[in-house]
Amino acid sequence: MNLLRERLTTPGDPGALRAEEGERPQSHARAYQSLKMQVHQLLLSRIDLEAMENLSDDHLREELGLMVERLLAEENLVVNASERRNLVRDIQHEMLGLGPLEPLLADASVSDILVNGPQQVYVERRGRLERTDVSFVDDDHLMKIIDKIVSRVGRRVDESCPMADARLPDGSRVNVIIPPLALDGPVMSIRRFAAVPLTMANLIDFHTLTAEMAEVLSALARAEVNLLISGGTGSGKTTLLNILSGYIDHAERIVTIEDAAELQLQQPHVVRLETRPPNIEGRGEITQRALVRNALRMRPDRIILGEVRGAEALDMLQAMNTGHEGSMTTIHANSPRDALSRLENMLAMGGMNLPTKVARHQISSAIGVIIQANRLTDGRRKITSIQEITGMEGDVITLQEIFSFRQTGVAEDGRVQGYFQASGVRPRFQERLRSRGIHVADHLFDPGRRME
């Protein structure tokens, strides 16, 4: 199938490709970028866009490769075999994917892609940041890729709305901020999601937690205990939330609420809700709070809130206190106690001027267990604390720690050393587990064993 129209240029035309001595760029990289732009623009001017829509991605990729080869031959442009292969690949990425980012997205070892303007792209591998040789031609080139990403999910980014959250087809989370807020050009952050979702066994292998801790957490999820996962940026909160949600019975109806849909639930009965930003006129915004309220009318067995960060905390806690047990959410906080303080502040954001004791009682009666996830200085993620909320003593919410990670030092190579240990406390939620027919052995809580 031929996607090229009649030839629109001749070798002597101004628009034709040429590589004259006096116009050759000083650096090889700039010369290659210039060549790629010329081939791309010429291809766009001559391709039959209607015919493209009728082809599958694989067939279209093959056709684009043939067309690039044909254009190079027509323009009598001499390139070596390596440059020819790279040119075909990069044009395919520009037309069908996300341009220079495609090789990074195909690399399974990359967990984060951080674009700080067109000439500076970093990635995170195994918890460490490193700069790549990937670059964009200029701000306009980067903006085209950004527009392609945000438009897929019905969002926009421009001077009137210079920040946006979006997601890639695989569920990876994208945040974009552009000038005038970003002073050195468009900035984009991509939090990668694994093609195959991680499991609890993977976390045990990575020493994020122990098998004993995993057994207790899975039992809590099955027993419909309300869970709050606390941690900093990049600590693995969403990953853990996704794994714990996998223990929910397949017969239950689950409603998920997120700013940008990331969760990868495997159950058959899942309803996914996503917030909507305001339109260009400043209207039409749908917040998480509105979605939580609506979810209560959807007969959910479980409500999973991707992250609680504002006024929706009030509605979430009320849902947990009114029969929607087994709900889960995440929160940004450095410790379980900080998480409770943040929740208390969020209740005030909800417009309810509750007395301090009433607000804390609402929190303590709604949430059963707080799981603290931290990212250590060596880049590894650990579940550093699992604490049970046991009620109130006066005006203070009481916590008891069930498991913790004890850091003992840092090795010469920078690796954090330490061990996991149970506190020896027999948690109150064991009664709830037994009432649901879930058995957790008492020896799991024995403080005499150090678990690496």
Assigned token pair, 54: 């009728």
pLDDT of 16 reads 41
Long-range contacts of the stretch 43-49 (C-beta < 8 A, 24+): 43/67, 43/68, 43/71, 43/91, 43/95, 45/8, 45/15, 46/4, 46/5, 46/7, 46/8, 46/71, 47/3, 47/4, 47/5, 48/3, 48/4, 48/5
Nearest to 162 by CA among 145, 147, 180: 180
pLDDT of 50 reads 59
pLDDT of 48 reads 63
Residue 283 predicted with pLDDT over 60: yes
CA distances from 112 to 141, 193, 254, 326 (A): 21, 9, 29, 31
Nearby residues of 449 by Cβ (< 8 Å), 6 or more positions away: 421, 422
Q: Residue 241 in 3-state DSSP? A: helix
pLDDT of 373 reads 96
Nearby residues of 12 by Cβ (< 8 Å), 6 or more positions away: none
pLDDT of 328 reads 95
Higher pLDDT, 223 or 284: 223
Residue 217 predicted with pLDDT over 90: yes
State pLDDT tens for residues 372-395. Answer: 999 998 889 999 999 999 999 999
Q: What torsion, rounded to 10 degrees, do the Cα atoms 86, 90, 93, 94 define?
A: -170
Residue 13 predicted with pLDDT over 70: no
pTM of this structure:
0.78
At residue 279, what are phi and psi to the nearest 5 degrees?
-80, -175
The structural domains of the chain, with segments of one domain joined by +, span 21-96, 102-191, 200-451
pLDDT of 17 reads 42
Region of 91 (left: φ > 0; alpha: ψ -120 to 50; beta: rest) is alpha
Nearby residues of 315 by Cβ (< 8 Å), 6 or more positions away: 289, 292, 293, 296, 350
pLDDT of 11 reads 40
pLDDT of 10 reads 38
State pLDDT tens for residues 29-72. Answer: 677 777 777 777 777 666 665 566 666 667 777 777 777 777 77
Kindly report which listed range (22-36, 193-207, 237-251) carries the lowest average pLDDT score: 22-36
pLDDT of 68 reads 76
Nearby residues of 85 by Cβ (< 8 Å), 6 or more positions away: none
State pLDDT tens for residues 157-175. Answer: 888 889 988 888 888 889 9
Banded pLDDT at 14 (limits 50, 70, 90) = very low
pLDDT of 226 reads 95
Banded pLDDT at 416 (limits 50, 70, 90) = very high
Nearby residues of 431 by Cβ (< 8 Å), 6 or more positions away: none
Residue 7 predicted with pLDDT over 60: no
Q: How far is Cα 452 from Cα 449, in angstroms, rounded to an integer?
A: 10
State pLDDT tens for residues 316-373. Answer: 998 898 878 899 999 999 999 999 999 999 988 877 778 889 999 999 999 999 999 9
Percentage of the chain beyond pLDDT 90 is 48
State pLDDT tens for residues 68-98. Answer: 777 777 766 667 777 777 777 877 787 778 8
Higher pLDDT, 78 or 411: 411
Task: Select the CATH number that applies to the domain covering 102-191 from these four: 3.40.640.10, 3.20.20.80, 3.30.450.90, 3.40.1280.10.
Answer: 3.30.450.90
Q: Which CATH superfamily is domain 200-451 in?
A: P-loop containing nucleotide triphosphate hydrolases (3.40.50.300)
pLDDT of 278 reads 81
